[in-house]
Amino acid sequence: MTDYEFFEVSRREQRCYHTDWDRPMEAFRTLEGLHRIEIMQDAQDEMTIRGSHIMEAGCAVGLAQVNERLGVALPADIDQFYRQYNGGMLLCREIYRLMPAAEIIEVNLTLRARTVERQDIPFGIVRFCDIRDGCYIALRRIEGEDWSIIYAEDGYTIQELMYDPGLVKEYSWDSSFAAWLERMCKTDGWPSALQVYGHDHPPMERLGSMERERET
């Protein structure tokens, strides 16, 4: 089993961020669940917040329904994580929204239906993290039961992200879900995929932290 103690440590830490960019400010004002973030300052053109990751209650069957609906066998580390947390918001210098199991199914089926690729192509790409504006973090099947992490914009097909050597080389990230999550915790989620791949997207500024147990 994967040891996710590093995530529990990060989840208990209360971090402070400041931003003067409209996208994260709009997210903190409107996205469901983010009302549990403490907004310390909210001016028209800047915001200071304090909080930590906002996680949803786990799913007893993990990603079993995802495996069944998409015809895949996702790795044990992400299945274990979803048994504890059925998605949630990773609060770092970027906001990473881990989709709940039902949304993972819906998003991946919908995106495949929008592309020109055949609908019987196996899901070698499974998007699980929404970073907004049609940009996702996804699992990519390497071979057999091995999966790695790849950046996946919604305009790319499963075939392109699986077999285009240029895209695979440019967009491949970590060796596993657990490795990606640990890197997000250690680096405060930066550099963001949006920043790496050319989006005009400045990070939030980290102001400091205060260790304390979350009440929820």
Site of tokens 């990751």: 53
C-alpha span between 168 and 186 (Å, rounded):
25
The per-residue pLDDT string of the chain (216 residues; one tens digit each, 9 = 90 and over) reads 889 999 999 999 999 999 998 878 888 888 777 778 888 998 888 999 999 999 999 999 999 999 999 999 999 999 999 999 999 999 998 889 999 999 999 999 998 887 666 666 789 999 999 988 888 999 999 977 799 999 998 888 888 999 999 989 889 989 999 999 999 999 998 776 655 555 556 678 999 654 444 343
Is the overall model pTM greater than 0.85, yes or no?
A: yes
